[in-house]
Amino acid sequence: MKTHLELSPRLRLAADMVPRGAKLCDVGTDHAYLPTCLLLEGTISSAIAADLRRGPLNRAMETAREYGCSGRMSFRLCNGLAGIAPEETDAVVIAGMGGETIAQILNAAPWVRERKVELILQPMSSQPELRAWLAANGFHIREERLAREGDTLYVVMSVCAGVEEPMTAAQVWAGRQSRAPLRGAYLAELLEKLDRALAGMARSTAPQTQARREELTLVRSGVAEMKKEWDAWQV
């Protein structure tokens, strides 16, 4: 029986943000590496591995057997949190999905907010849309951290029920400013993305495109100020 599981930087960061002693539910668990690792480390008291598809759930069961964690992990074939009873968990990880999908999962489970369940969210895309949805639906983004795997930067959010302070357009896109070592690279990537989007809109005269261009120009200005501030901290 194996006793040590090495996580990728992305999953390691998410795992490090799970509260100690939590009853964890890992949504979209795939191989169940994250809950298995946390059980082996003694960080969590129990785990639910949930996935929409039978194949990933079978892989999760195999991982749990391989590491001797089957007795402390249950498995659910369900869409999001649909197969989870509110009293079964006090911390939920949703990693490796698009931000809009994460929002849909949370929207379908209002008990997460009502019971003040701790959330660790790792959106693969649509981070601005997820931040905006969280702020508009009774959630507070407590912290954001960054992990690098190869050439890709990943955002992991620690979220709880609460009132989010108003965010600027740039903060919706980039999150609140921090001195994190990878923050500069993250802001630089966002600026490149915004520049590409604005360049693509340059030739259009459609009113809706014009409005979107003005919106993104404002966002870019704010993100550029964040990058300038972060650079000044490095001196």
Per-residue model confidence as pLDDT tens digits over 213-234: 999 999 999 999 999 999 999 9
The model's pTM: 0.96
pLDDT, the chain, mean: 96
Encode pLDDT of 202-218 as tens digits: 888 888 888 999 999 99
Q: Which domain holds residue 131?
A: 9-166
Which secondary structure element, helix H or strand E, spans residue 228, and what is its range?
A: helix 207-233
User: Among the three residues 166, 195, 217, which one is the final residue of a domain in this structure?
Assistant: 166
Question: How big is the chain by its Cα radius of gyration, in Å?
Answer: 19
Structure token pair of residue 116: 């003040």
Buried b / exposed e along 51-60 (16+ C-beta atoms within 10 A): beeeebbebb
Other CB atoms within 10 Å distance of the CB of residue 28: 20
pLDDT tens-place values along the chain, 235 residues long: 888 899 999 999 999 999 999 999 999 999 999 999 999 999 999 999 999 999 999 999 999 999 999 999 999 999 999 999 999 999 999 999 999 999 999 999 999 999 999 999 999 999 999 999 999 999 999 999 999 999 999 999 999 999 999 999 999 999 999 999 999 999 999 999 999 999 989 888 888 888 999 999 999 999 999 999 999 999 8
CA angle 27, 29, 32 (to 5 degrees): 140
178 in a domain, yes or no?
no
* 228 Cβ contact partners less than 8 Å away, ≥ 6 residues apart: none
- Per the CB < 8 A criterion, the answer to whether 116 and 122 are in contact is no
Do both 96 and 197 map to the same domain? no
For the chain, what is the domain count? 2
The answer as to whether 4 is a domain residue is no
- Residue 187 shares a structural domain with residue 154: no
Q: Which pair of tokens denotes residue 73? A: 């992990």
Q: Are residues 153 and 207 in the same domain?
A: no
Claim to verify: residue 16 and residue 117 sit in the same structural domain: yes
Q: How many CB atoms lie within 10 A of CB 87?
A: 9
User: What is the distance between the alpha carbons of residues 131 and 124, in angstroms, rounded to a whole number?
Assistant: 13
Q: Are 105 and 94 in contact (CB under 8 A)?
A: yes
26 and 82 in a common domain: yes
Whole-angstrom distance, CA of residue 96 vs CA of residue 129: 16
Q: Is residue 60 in some structural domain?
A: yes
Q: Are residues 208 and 130 in the same domain?
A: no
Asked, for residue 26, whether it belongs to a domain, the answer is yes
* DSSP E strand stretches across 71-210: 73-77, 91-97, 118-123, 139-149, 152-161
Burial 178-207 (b: 16+ CB within 10 A, else e): beeeebbebbeebbeebeeeeeebeeeeee
Is residue 49 in some structural domain? yes
- Does some domain include residue 137? yes
- For the chain, give the percent of residues with pLDDT over 70: 100
Q: Are residue 31 and residue 132 in the same domain, yes or no?
A: yes
* CATH assignment of the domain containing 74: 3.40.50.150
Give the separation between CA 96 and CA 102, rounded to whole angstroms: 9
